Amino acid sequence: MMKEKFFKYIQNLQDAITFALEKMDGKAVFKEDQWIRKEGGGGRTRVISNGNVFEKGGVNISKVYGPLPEAMQRYFGVEEADFFACGLSLVLHPVNPMVPTVHANWRYFEMYDKSGEKVKSWFGGGQDLTPYYLFDEDAKHFHQTCKNACDSHHPEFYKKYKKQCDDYFWNTHREEARGVGGLFFDRCSATQDFTMQHWYNFVTEVGDSFLEAYLPIVEKRRDLPFTKEQRDWQEIRRGRYVEFNLIHDKGTLFGLKTNGRIESILMSLPPHVQWHYNHSPKKGSEEARLIKVLQHPVEWVNF
């Protein structure tokens, strides 16, 4: 069955990613926390902190099922139903402000009618980059890796899911993007021409591309010098990251409304953040250049 197949995939992917990140960090290791959801299911949370490279990060998998809560019934426009959902979600907050934060998520969902028959199923996910100091070549590398993962499945996937990422990770109350984007896709269901196996192949190729997309950037920037002022800027920009996750992010909303595990849901929040009243960077600075790019999404592959 697809749900068992995909859950096995994310278990293995969690192992591969956490192993590679520990090797990159060279100091900190992931602490594992297994948890059970009383309504059905549970998860395996792995968190890294106070490392040489990663100040805080998590690579979590979960599998939850049972009656669909009323809030989610209203969200999906359905009556009483049961559901199954599994996925891997990760966020990494680096120490060095020259290294970007990264987020990724790959998930599978099923919904059942009162007789237990599956009536809906879909995949979703993506990966996106949030720099504090913008190195154009890093953004190009990340996006090219995303495009490579898309192109063997459909020639329009990268263009479509890049735009959906730009639209989704948009802080509407700030009129700026959270970062430089990547891919975002949701409700990917079977059609006459694209089966659920096709979607599985696509989503798993994107998942397998994550380390190739991110680790070369980390390796290139991890040892660059930085000042206290640049660290302050990183923490101010982290505040925008927090604002998005708590105001706009649908994954956070879903977790909270399905009685998900709070510690795992809020794992994405950085450990040190600043908010300054009416803060704006100096005109002509690298900080100002970042803001300008975030206000107008860039086509990085053709930049």
Residue positions annotated with a catalytic role:
103
The amino acid sitting at 114 is: K
Residue whose C-alpha is closest to residue 237's, from 126, 90, 166, 133: 133
State the Cα–Cα distance between residues 84 and 107, nearest whole angstrom.
11
Cα(224)–Cα(111) distance, integer angstroms: 48
Residue reference for tokens 């290139």: 220
Q: Residue 260 and residue 142: Cα distance in Å, rounded?
A: 31
* Phi-psi group of 180: left, alpha or beta (phi > 0 → left; psi -120 to 50 → alpha; rest → beta): alpha
C-alpha 169/C-alpha 226 separation (Å) is 27
Backbone angle region of 235, left / alpha / beta, with phi > 0 → left and psi within -120 to 50 → alpha:
alpha
Contact 24, 7 (CB under 8 A): no
Our CA angle for 169, 175, 181, nearest 5°, is 30
DSSP code at position 138:
H
DSSP per residue over 120-175, as a string?
A: EEEEEEEEEEE-SS--HHHHHHHHHHHHHHHHTT-TTHHHHHHHHHHHHTEETTTT
How many whole angstroms separate alpha carbon 270 and alpha carbon 236?
11
